Amino acid sequence: MKRRLTQQTLVSTVVYLATLVAVFFATRYFPAIDFDPDRFYHFAISRIYAASGYPATLPQAEDIGWGQAFAEKEFLFHVLSGFAWKLGGEHGVVVYSRVLFAFLMTTLGFVIARAAKSGWMVPVATFVIMLCCAQFSTRMNMIRPHVLAILVMTWQILAWRSGRWKLACVLAGAYTLAYHAFYVPLAINGIFIASLFLAGTNVSRHVAWTILSMAAAIIANPAFPQNIATGVQVLAIATQQTSSIPEYFFGGEIRLLNSVQLIKQHGYMIFLPLVLVLVLLVPRSNTTLTWNAIRGRKLRCPELFAVLGISLLFSALIFLTPRAFEIAVPAGMIALATLAGQHQRTGRWITVVFLVTFVAFHVPGSLDRIHATSVFNPTVAPASESIRRALSVIPQDGQKKVFNWSWWVSPFILYHRPDLRFIDLLDPTFLQRKSPEMSKLRVAVYEDRETDPWFVVRNVFHADYVMIPDSMAGRWATDPHFTLMKTPPPVDERYGFSVLKVAEHRIDRFVTKGRTGTAVVSRPFPEITDTEFRRQDIPIEQEWPRIEEHPGDSAPVPTLAFVDSFRTLAGMSGGLKPKDLAKLDPFKNSLCTRVSVDPAEIARITRDAGRIDYLGIGGGSWFGVWVNDEPLYQAENPFAPRLVDTLIDLRGARSVPPVRSIEAISCAKLSTNRAGLAISLWSKTDIESRCGNVFRTSHPTRWQIAGATQWECFGAPVVEKISNHP
């Protein structure tokens, strides 16, 4: 018997080594399945660990909050990879990750081999599982921390199965320290503890050890407590609980699959535990591994049922998140190994029929995925080199910031140019969690829905450069706010990137000529950050269109802080901070308008009339006016629904003469029926010659025109009444 076991162990080992060779061979002929942009993030972090240890901050990723505190979620993996970097640099980290993969496959191979007490079915099943699940081989062949996590998890399940529960609890802590998904080892321990409890075991010590080991691991992470928040956030990502971000923004490994894709790509691991349960229920004699084992008051074989429970759980979770298959594969193999050596011929042949049936579905699905990946996805080497060449045109003169077109580009930036800052990293939801407003603006730019990309890039994200695919560069280059820089040719034209330099200040091309103003209209949307800013040339004499009333509208009255934030958002002052965006949210049912005067018009009036004496504001409810970038006038009750025009005497204003810039902002609730404004510039001569001596008032600085609200001057209808505004 011992000799027979040795022979079967040898056969299984040979099969596993052949599988290992086949996987590495496949990665050479299908390099796209090895495409892993995140590896460059791990290369960069490993380099930092090797040079200076744990980084308390990562200033390159300030927009997601890592400039204040680095949310390290894979501490143990990076400690080991940092040591590997010291030994061999980038190649050392690659070898380190490949060794983890080899350990995982070897562990599972010996588990299956030891269970193969008779027949050839188990080694063949093992071979089929590994080669027919292309995603598993792909994921385990990446330079990623989940490889270490899956290896530790496999050891954890095996420790529980063999009764070494203290070791299993320690391994649960190691998993927690190595990877963000602390809920995975917690679930595994929970299932085993529940099985032991049903078997009549006192599990108080098991529970205590689980809590202590995992709590110690969580607290031992220098990023505590951010590591907990990050783990919960990644769980939300995996379960698609981030509806405000388009699905295509995420990595393909978490996108939900339809039923055909599930069967072709993951059908094997979905149905394997169900077949094992069916085999378990086959009537047999002289065994405790049948339904009779759980018919009594106590569970007689808790380890077996715990392993089957884990396999069933994570196989079912594939329907919620495809990444669950990473756990379902080793869990299913351990469940198969646990049961395989103890069933009779009937059960064995049920499993064989299952293997043959689902191989027919699974192999084509794997081949389809490999083919699609090879054809449509960039390979990591050309993409990396192309990005490196594009980044070379950015001078190394301080912490410049790059608006990276997509989040998957940032790992390359961090690795090749650690002196540069960028927007987001690893996943788009990190930016969403830090600032939902900035996240939505970023998506709007990505989808080409933002009509003022310069403002978003410069004033919201404070970027100095934009890095986008070559196919998009032409459209952006037509905007004078962006200067296309000459970059070296890419390694592969499909993966070429262009770099554009961002203008520091707004260019006057957005300001109209003559007696017209440029209006930026904020249309109400469910979220203020979904606002679309539309530029129009509005003649001074033209009345603004009415806005549909919203009965029962309970929007709060806009405040001075809100208008100041909108003024920044409209592009007339300095950079907008995330806290300023938050001020806009309560007024999502308001509509604001900004009008500015072309400096050429100011110069014309100054030249013709000698100076500008009066400033006319018309068009409805309004808030205030800025002259030479200083607030000049603000209405005492600016948002009352009154249709009035106001004339301001500039002769006593401290900021004039000379007048260099003029702008006004009007904000109104939708219930006021009307929003908008127009600016007119007046000299004393203009008023006296065109309007007559109409300003006989004791108040020398401002007047209000009521009644018919059209200006008499410059050809407008006659003003019917002028009243003093004290």
pLDDT digits (tens, 9 = 90+) for 474-498: 778 777 788 889 888 887 777 788 9
- Residue 239 has a pLDDT of 62
Check: CB of residue 45 under 8 Å from CB of residue 78. yes
Residue 482, number of CB atoms within 10 A of its CB: 23
Would the pLDDT of 466 be above 70?
Answer: yes
- Residue 194 has a pLDDT of 93
Task: Characterize 283-310 residue by residue with b for buried, 16 or more Cβ atoms within 10 angstroms of its Cβ, and e for exposed.
Answer: ebeeeebbeebeeeeebbbbbbbbbbbb
Q: Residue 412 and residue 296: Cα distance in Å, rounded?
A: 59
> Where do the domains of the chain lie?
2-34+71-376, 380-505, 509-724
Q: Locate 679 and state its tokens.
A: 């600016």
% of the chain surpassing 70 pLDDT: 49
Evaluate the CA torsion angle 333, 338, 341, 344 in order and state its sign: negative
pLDDT 10s digits, 259-276: 666 666 666 667 677 767
Bridge partners, 499 (sequence order): 467
Q: Residue 633 and residue 654: Cα distance in Å, rounded?
A: 12
Side-chain-side CA neighbours of 683 within 13 Å: the count stands at 17
Q: What angle do CA 506, 508, 513 make, to 5 degrees?
A: 155
Contacts of 642 (CB under 8 A, 6+ apart): 621
Residue 151, number of CB atoms within 10 A of its CB: 25
- From the number of C-beta atoms within 10 Å of its C-beta (0-12, 13-18, 19+), residue 399 rates as exposed
SS3 call for 68: coil
E strand or H helix that includes residue 682: strand 678-682
- From the options 3.40.50, 2.60.40, 3.50.50, 3.60.21, give the CATH code of 380-505: 3.40.50
What is the signed CA dihedral for 681, 684, 690, 691, rounded to 10 degrees?
Answer: 100
pLDDT 10s digits, 561-602: 556 655 665 554 444 455 555 555 444 445 556 666 666 666
pLDDT 10s digits, 658-707: 777 777 766 655 444 444 455 556 555 555 544 443 333 323 333 333 32
**Residue 403's pLDDT band (cuts 50, 70, 90):** very high
What pTM was estimated for this model as a whole? 0.66
Q: Residue 712 and residue 689: Cα distance in Å, rounded?
A: 11
pLDDT 10s digits, 22-31: 655 554 544 4
Termini Cα distance of the chain: 109
DSSP string, 689-724: III-S----S-SSEEEEESS---SGGGPPPP-EEEE
